[in-house]
Structure 1
Amino acid sequence: MQAAGSVVRRTLDRLYFGSGVIAALFLIAILSLVVLQMLARWTGNVFPGAADYAGYCMAAASFFAFAHALNRGAHIRVSLILQFAGRYRRLIEIWCFAIGTGLGWYLAYYAWKGAYWSWKLHDISQGQDATPIWIPQIAMVVGAILFAIALTDHLVNLILFGEHRIDAEVVEDHE
């Protein structure tokens, strides 16, 4: 049983790390698009839709970074309240993670639903690129699902083992 748990743990940790790598690749894509757009302007050419593609990459980078950032302690937490919670700290953390998990799955569901309806209705972007809008929405769906999985992971760990798996408490490190 423990071997299966360690396989799941390693798989989830790799998944969260991979989502951070994908987010970084989207940031590199934004840089590349901006440089290409600058080069196009300097040479008198037009790069239609470059700003739209950069926006899609920014959204993708943000959503793919959510799960990785949560595990690294980069999300804002209620550390001030938790600092004075005393013996109720674990209960408050469970409550916070439960609400976060519920909201995470709510976001994932509606992100999927929005992308599905964009695909079904053949919705395209308003910009010059006329991209089918469900294509960039896929990154939002996958990122939201990964974030919801990460929140669920922390909630389950907190309930079963008494602690979440957030690596660094950024706010608490500066006390």
Structure 2
Amino acid sequence: MDKLARAFYKFLMFLACLSMVSALLAITLNIATRLVDGWSIAGLDGYAGYSIAAALFLALPSAFMHGSHIRVTLLLQNVGPRVKAVLEYWSLGLGVLVSSYLAWFSCRLVWMSHSYHDVAPTGDATPMWIPQLTMALGTVGFAMAFCHALINRLRGQPFFAESSDELTRIE
């Protein structure tokens, strides 16, 4: 199960990378079309924004796994092992609750946007559930990563990557 979860985080990171490349392409195309007098492609700004937001949300699980999120290690370094364990359990438990709520809210937002046929107010009228789907996928992965970290902590197994090589290593 651990390998499957980590493969899912890597897949989400791959999608985040594709999102960043698509944001770059959308912005470059937008600049190029503005240089041509009187020609423009409607909605490219919106697609660039959707791509950047997708990259942010899709990268959440991998960033968490590699310790890239803000953590208060100053406190953890200056307390005893017993207090440190309590604080880690407390923070992981709270993280599971908050990230699960965020995932539930994101999935509900996608469902509501789809149900009400919500579209972007831009000229291209993109159905909003499509870009919101990446947010839901990323937050579900984030909640899964918090649960994964808590379960590994309870089992006494490491969750957080020890080096940057783990992201590229294929197991």
What's the TM-score once normalised by structure 2's chain length?
Answer: 0.90
Q: Percent identity?
A: 31
**How far does residue 150 in structure 1 lie from its aligned partner after superposition?**
0.4
Taking the aligned partners of 1:130 and 1:42, their CA distance within structure 2 comes to: 24
Q: Which residue of 1 aligns with 2:40?
A: 46
Q: Which residue of 2 aligns with 1:21?
A: 14
Taking the aligned partners of 1:13 and 1:122, their CA distance within structure 2 comes to: 34
Q: Which residue of 1 aligns with 2:169?
A: none
- DSSP 3-state at the match of 1:166: coil
- Once the two structures are superposed, the pairs formed by residues 21-170 of structure 1 within 5 Å of their partners are 21-44=14-37, 45-87=39-81, 88-161=83-156, 163-168=157-162
Taking the aligned partners of 1:73 and 1:159, their CA distance within structure 2 comes to: 19
Taking the aligned partners of 1:164 and 1:48, their CA distance within structure 2 comes to: 48
Taking the aligned partners of 1:72 and 1:18, their CA distance within structure 2 comes to: 15
Task: For structure 2, list consecutive stretches of 5 or more residues without a partner in the other structure.
Answer: 165-171
**How far does residue 155 in structure 1 lie from its aligned partner after superposition?**
0.6
Tell me which amino acid in the other structure corresponds to 1:152: C
Taking the aligned partners of 2:19 and 2:47, their CA distance within structure 1 comes to: 10
Tell me which amino acid in the other structure corresponds to 2:52: M
Query: How large is the Cα RMSD of the aligned pairs?
Result: 1.5
**How far does residue 34 in structure 1 lie from its aligned partner after superposition?**
0.7
Aligned residues: 162
Question: CA offsets per residue over residues 6-62 of structure 1, 9 Å max, x none?
Answer: xx1111111111111110110000000011111111122101100101111111100
Q: Which moved more, 1:59-68 or 1:79-88?
A: 79-88
Q: Which residue of 2 aligns with 1:3?
A: none
Taking the aligned partners of 2:146 and 2:163, their CA distance within structure 1 comes to: 16
**How far does residue 143 in structure 1 lie from its aligned partner after superposition?**
0.5
For the Cα contact (< 8 Å) 1:49–1:128, is it kept in 2?
Answer: yes
Task: For structure 1, list consecutive stretches of 5 or more residues without a partner in the other structure.
Answer: 1-7, 171-175
Superposition misfits of 4+ residues, deviation over 4 angstroms: none
For the Cα contact (< 8 Å) 1:73–1:169, is it kept in 2?
Answer: no
- DSSP 3-state at the match of 1:77: coil
